[in-house]
Amino acid sequence: MVIGAAVATAYVIAARFGFQFGFIAEQVTTVWPPTGIAQAALLLWGPSLWPAIWIGAFAANATTTMPLWAAAGVATGNALEAILAVLLSRGGLSIGLAGILMRGAGLGIDPDDRKHIFEPFYRGREAVSRQIKGSGLGLNLVQRIAEAHGGRVAVTSEPGKGSTFTIMLPGVPDTPVTDTGAALSLAR
């Protein structure tokens, strides 16, 4: 906790220094020393220190003229930048892995409709009867984009219980994507 507070404080102080070089806006600068502090902290004390990086970046940017929601977005980007840099430096990131799992507890898709859901402008009978808005293009576009990148889209669904869509892109082993419940997991 003490290390995290020290890192967040050092980040804010370094950011204040970097803001002096802003020429378009206070928070847009060509000199950004907190990047080095963030990466060094994660290398020395491990990726579990990422919240301190985020807090420092948020605190630094929240004191500028940008809205708080934008400060949160910048803080997220700065923290992710440091995490990715550390993972790349340790060889712990495999670029090319891409699998996305989306689960919804909505209507589910009738088996007869499932054969057609990727066709342009197709809308399932249940969606039409309930007058749910839509054009029937969304899944067709998702499939076309995935296929344009050499990937595929799969769906499992049960009427009344929801659907799970899996998007697989090149570099992913041909095994099902599992929901781990973790948004970010980093090995030290």
**Maximum Cα–Cα distance across the chain:** 63
Q: Based on the domain organization, do 119 and 161 belong to the same domain?
A: yes
Q: Based on the domain organization, do 27 and 83 belong to the same domain?
A: yes
Residue 181 inside a domain? The answer is: no
Q: Based on the domain organization, do 18 and 66 belong to the same domain?
A: yes
pTM of the model: 0.45
Q: Based on the domain organization, do 73 and 106 belong to the same domain?
A: no
Residue 125 inside a domain? The answer is: yes
Q: Each residue of 159-182: pLDDT tens digit?
A: 888 888 887 777 645 545 454 443
How many structural domains is the chain composed of?
A: 2
Q: Based on the domain organization, do 74 and 27 belong to the same domain?
A: yes
Q: Each residue of 101-155: pLDDT tens digit?
A: 676 667 788 888 888 888 888 888 777 887 777 777 788 888 888 888 788 888 8
CB 28: neighbour CB atoms within 10 A?
13
User: Exposed, middle or buried: residue 68 (CB in 10 Å: 0-12, 13-18, 19+)?
Assistant: exposed
How many angstroms separate the CA atoms of 24 and 10, rounded? 24
The boundaries of the domain holding residue 138 are: 99-168
Q: Per-residue pLDDT for 183 more than 50?
A: no
Q: Report the DSSP pairing between strands 162-168 and 99-104.
A: antiparallel
